[in-house]
Amino acid sequence: MQGNRVELDTFNPAMIARPHAFYAELREKMPIVFIPQLDAWVLTRYEDVREVLRDHVQWSSARGDRQTPMRNGVQLESVAPPGTLTMLGADRPDHTRLRKLLAMDFTPNRIGHLAPHVASIANRLLDSAGDEFDVVDTLSVPLPVTMIAELLGIPPELGAQFKRWSDAAIEPMHPDAPADDVRARNAEIVAFRAYLQEQIHQRHEEPTDDFIGRLVAAHDEEEKLNDDELLGAVNLLLLAGNETTTNLISNAVLALCRFPERQTELVENPDLMDAAIEEFLRYDGSVQFTARTAMSPATFHGQQVEEGQTVAVFIASGNRDPRVFERPDELDFHRPKAKHLGFGDWIHICIGQFLARMETKAALSALLERFAPFELAIAEEEIPYRANFNLRGPLHLPIRRC
């Protein structure tokens, strides 16, 4: 650490596996700091994170990048053309227009009736598990992929292919990645785009009542979004709902291995599950940070952020801020209501939150019912993580019955 600048190697496996000590140090010593690897001012305290998330006028979500970055002389492909508006990367009024198209599909009511179906998928996935198995491959990856594919109207048999495309689209490319790796990734993205375009094309010809079908109808009948925005919206739903939920399930299972008495508590009192899921989102949610651009100068702790500069608000750090959460590093299902920021806040708050909660609940309930008490089958330090600092979670998580 030096002055108001700190280096953060977002590709360092040890940092990806254990970021919380770093967050705690920043929170206490440098509540605003410039991190060159993110090209952003970083905020780590709960109140600061929340303030930025709740002021969408001062803090813009519109990035408007017209170009994707280069790696070793090769331009990175993107699924929708760079600069395409999606609700995640738009401000009002575009944000309202794009979010409204899908808001009705994600209400607790619309999502709620899926609960028995999601529970049956979780149970079916666990049928193949022996006394020792990898939670990630068996449960946390296939459950969200199957669900989002079904909702969008894509054959669930394509699950594995889908996961490959989604990984390629979401995993950051190291600045020194060899050109051949970049080309291989680009080929996946091009195939993914072609597949989505084909799905959209089919629905122009023959309307359907799935998510893609309804977006296509909004495009064709009411011109509520243009061609690129249509592709961007389908792509966003696929990506936003996959890795995040996978990682929340895996991080929650890891937390239950760290605190085995919490497994007993949930087995004895399954009604605690809803509170437990909020605590998993607080304790080790899957999104580390999100970014905003300053629309005018602003000051935090004496440091000015200039108009046009980026701030990265560290949700995962705010959720462990001892100013707001007592004993923040403990897993406690009986916390007084203090709102975690695991799904963000305000106008961009996660549209898929009810679906994500339901999937996590189905996965954990089935796991606890059939396998508790369970423990890690390898030492915690040996757990491999995905090479993604922001959407962090284990690549594999072997557990066994105790």
Which residue ranges make up the site for ligand HEM (CB under 6 A)? 61, 87-88, 99, 148, 236-237, 240-241, 244-245, 248, 285-287, 290, 315, 342-344, 348, 350-352, 355-356
Q: Which of 351, 136, 154 is nearest to 236 (CA)?
A: 351
Shortest separation between residue 176's beta carbon and ligand HEM, angstroms = 28
Shortest separation between residue 68's beta carbon and ligand HEM, angstroms = 19
Q: How far is residue 317's CA from residue 334's CA, in Å, rounded to a whole number?
A: 20
> Which of 280, 371 has the CB closer to ligand HEM?
280
> Which of 30, 143 has the CB closer to ligand HEM?
143
Shortest separation between residue 387's beta carbon and ligand HEM, angstroms = 19
Shortest separation between residue 228's beta carbon and ligand HEM, angstroms = 16
Question: Which residue matches tokens 């600048």?
Answer: 5
Compute φ and ψ for 303, nearest 5 degrees: -100, 125
DSSP β-bridge partners for residue 280: none
User: Measured between alpha carbons, how far is residue 104 from residues 74, 149, 289, 303, 392 in Å?
Assistant: 40, 18, 27, 41, 29
Q: How far is residue 157's CA from residue 347's CA, in Å, rounded to a whole number?
A: 35
Q: How far is residue 34's CA from residue 291's CA, in Å, rounded to a whole number?
A: 13
Q: How far is residue 96's CA from residue 199's CA, in Å, rounded to a whole number?
A: 25
Q: Where are the alpha helices (DSSP H) in 270-379?
A: 273-284, 315-318, 353-371
> Which of 182, 218 has the CB closer to ligand HEM?
218
> Which of 33, 237 has the CB closer to ligand HEM?
237
Shortest separation between residue 187's beta carbon and ligand HEM, angstroms = 26
Shortest separation between residue 278's beta carbon and ligand HEM, angstroms = 11
> Which of 256, 356 has the CB closer to ligand HEM?
356
> Which of 19, 241 has the CB closer to ligand HEM?
241
Which position's Cβ is nearest ligand HEM? 352
